Structure 1
Amino acid sequence: MTRIAVLGSTNMDLVAYTARAPGRGETVTGREFRTVPGGKGANQAVAAAHAGGEVMMIGAIGDDVYGTRLREGLEHAGVDTDLLHTAEGPSGTAHIVVDDIGSNAIVVVPGANGVVTTLGPGEIAAIAASEILLMQLELPLSAVVEGARAARAQGVRTILTPAPVQPLPDELLDHIDLLVPNEHEAAELSGQDEPHAAAQILLRRVPEVIVTLGAKGCLYAARGGEPVLFEAPSVTAVDTTGAGDTFVGALAVALGEGRPVAGAVAFASAAAALCVQKPGASTSMPYRSEIEAEAV
């Protein structure tokens, strides 16, 4: 079983479903509202646990009712929450609008996630005991850099989802093995809209890149090799929230099991395809048996 540490955010997703997202200054009527445990870190942790990983969550929740629900949701998914600390004040929240074609727009309010500025001995030890460290950018950058540096020092493989996108310092990317941006994040980080061109520029800073392309699949590129475009399963999307995190969580499990890149991407793509066919983020993430059946 792949041992995975996730250093990342835990948010309550406040999701409104509507025919179309409102424009600037516009009000529209929604048809449904849900509160769903989420956050990019917690989503990747749940996805990895569902996919068969042994997962430790490192982060913070607030001392509010959302915090209680967030911890319970992770534990129900099989994620170890001993290093998910409770901070004074509100938990993080994500305010999400989902339209009828499954697209989403999101505003994240960090809350307790913002207090995670550094790591203690327990967090460093948990990272060292893992095979893979998953990170995103919904925590303060100082903690992400510290986690990446600790992982590199112990020979732990590092995977970074650069979202929400921001300039990435060398002190972070120097310790990243695999960067997994979506096509918009890749364009922002590289200055190139075309995914192949963007990947080549990003390879100057990290050894491997996977650019996720939604329904078009993903592009894998590594230093010294030819880029490979992997197609995604053809499905009808209901809600794309959490699809990227599902992909990364499942990918980490597959890579940790020693699967070749093509097999790991197929496993992760199957997981993401199953995720988008149900509403919600963490609530729509498939289990290993479902993924393996889809990936056949």
Structure 2
Amino acid sequence: MPQTMGPLCVVGSINVDVTASVERLPAPGETVLGGSLRRDAGGKGANQAAAAARLGARVRMVGAVGDDTDGRAMVQNLREVGVDAGGIWLGEHPTGTALITVDDAGENSIVVCAGANADVTIDGVVFAPEEAVLAQLEIPRETVAALAAAVPGFLAVNAAPAQTLPDALVSRADLVIVNETEYAALPELAAARRVAVTFGSAGAALFERGVEVARAAAPRVQAVSSVGAGDAFCAAITLALHAGWDAETALRAACAVGADAVTHLGAQPPLRELAAYV
């Protein structure tokens, strides 16, 4: 049976998601009418922290929001889902915002305005040896790179949006998580210790030093929105591998979590305990 999950610290972005749902995504230069609009909690960091808490982990978050109504609402949202928000501070810029368009098939396009996420640092943050740390690239790359020396325990990096990663970070990370497009754009990951690559509805694979060691299919579901799927997968695979689950079990569970996520609207879908997905 899978082992108990350890604590997790998410270092990452916090956004307000402004989502337009339309029949189809517009082509360049095209205007599409008839959409509905909604505002939700988002940001890859906050999404992953919320997912991890809903999967049953003890989670804290390090990040920044603006000194504004959106920022206070985003912090309160994280607290309500069980995330320790003591490491979130008020930045000098407004709360980050993501502009999202989702079509009837669940496909999406996203533009992110960083705002206060550009203020995130790990100055003064102490990481416990027993906690996993999960970061993404919607905060300054220098902050993520600094984790290589600052984290004594398990370090996972979701290399999204794709950016060239410092060699020291690639060699230090216990896990790097990317989708197939990001994997192709980051050849340095061939040397990484362990890389989880997602393929959308085709599932995911796990590579060690460029060699595939496990692959799992994604359960077939009726997709509503794919916005929260990747972040839910990141939380699940990080928690599972940090807990010592074997590669195939961890990957299968993470794919099931991602599939569950696409059946819900919004970037922070309701989820069950991680063990329920095995």
Instruction: Write the distance in 1 (CA, Å) between the matches of 2:211 and 2:28.
Output: 44
Task: Name the amino acid aligned to 1:141.
Answer: R
Q: CA deviation at 1:159?
A: 0.9
SS at structure 1 position matched to 2:50: helix
Give 1:159's aligned residue.
156
Instruction: Write the distance in 2 (CA, Å) between the matches of 1:285 and 1:187.
Output: 31
Give 1:252's aligned residue.
238
Q: CA deviation at 1:130?
A: 4.5
Give 1:287's aligned residue.
272
SS at structure 1 position matched to 2:197: strand
Instruction: Write the distance in 2 (CA, Å) between the matches of 1:106 and 1:233.
Output: 25
1:142 equivalent in alignment to 2:145: no
Give 1:119's aligned residue.
122
Give 1:220's aligned residue.
206
Give 1:56's aligned residue.
60
1:70 equivalent in alignment to 2:74: yes
Q: CA deviation at 1:183?
A: 0.3
Task: Name the amino acid aligned to 2:145.
Answer: V
Task: Name the amino acid aligned to 1:35.
Answer: R
Please tell me the root mean square deviation across aligned C-alpha atoms, in Å: 1.6
Instruction: Write the distance in 1 (CA, Å) between the matches of 2:18 and 2:158.
Output: 22
Q: CA deviation at 1:31?
A: 2.9
Instruction: Write the distance in 1 (CA, Å) between the matches of 2:219 and 2:38.
Output: 27
Instruction: Write the distance in 2 (CA, Å) between the matches of 1:167 and 1:280.
Output: 29
Q: Which runs of 5+ in 1 are unaligned?
A: 191-200
Give 1:132's aligned residue.
132
1:81 equivalent in alignment to 2:66: no
TM-score (norm 2): 0.94
- Residues 1:11 and 1:158: Cα distance change in structure 2 (over 3 Å): same
SS at structure 1 position matched to 2:257: helix
Q: Which runs of 5+ in 2 are unaligned?
A: none
Task: Name the amino acid aligned to 1:133.
Answer: V
Task: Name the amino acid aligned to 2:243.
Answer: E
SS at structure 2 position matched to 1:165: coil
SS at structure 1 position matched to 2:19: strand
SS at structure 2 position matched to 1:181: strand
SS at structure 2 position matched to 1:174: helix
Moved over 3 A (4+): 223-227
Instruction: Write the distance in 1 (CA, Å) between the matches of 2:210 and 2:94.
Output: 47
Contact 1:246 1:285 in 2 (8 A): no
- Residues 1:109 and 1:227: Cα distance change in structure 2 (over 3 Å): same
Q: CA deviation at 1:172?
A: 2.2
Give 1:4's aligned residue.
8
Q: CA deviation at 1:225?
A: 5.8
TM-score (norm 1): 0.88
Instruction: Write the distance in 2 (CA, Å) between the matches of 1:182 and 1:32.
Output: 28
Instruction: Write the distance in 2 (CA, Å) between the matches of 1:81 and 1:87.
Output: 14
Contact 1:251 1:264 in 2 (8 A): yes
Task: Name the amino acid aligned to 1:120.
Answer: D
Q: CA deviation at 1:216?
A: 0.3
- Residues 1:103 and 1:166: Cα distance change in structure 2 (over 3 Å): same
Q: How many residues align?
A: 274
Task: Name the amino acid aligned to 2:271.
Answer: P
Instruction: Write the distance in 1 (CA, Å) between the matches of 2:19 and 2:210.
Output: 43
Task: Name the amino acid aligned to 1:255.
Answer: L
Matches within 5 A, 1:160-179: 160-179=157-176
Give per-residue Cα distances to partners, 1:198-230, cap 9 Å, x unaligned: xxx6232x1111110110000111139653221
Q: CA deviation at 1:18?
A: 0.2
Matches within 5 A, 1:238-249: 238-249=224-235
Give per-residue Cα distances to partners, 1:70-123, cap 9 Å, x unaligned: 00110011000001011233100000000011000000000000112x3222x1
Instruction: Write the distance in 2 (CA, Å) between the matches of 1:7 and 1:81.
Output: 11
Give per-residue Cα distances to partners, 1:241-266, cap 9 Å, x unaligned: 02011011112222233211111112
Instruction: Write the distance in 2 (CA, Å) between the matches of 1:225 and 1:87.
Output: 41
1:188 equivalent in alignment to 2:189: no
Task: Name the amino acid aligned to 1:229.
Answer: R
Instruction: Write the distance in 1 (CA, Å) between the matches of 2:129 and 2:49.
Output: 16
**Alignment identity in percent?**
42
- Residues 1:224 and 1:98: Cα distance change in structure 2 (over 3 Å): closer
SS at structure 2 position matched to 1:128: coil
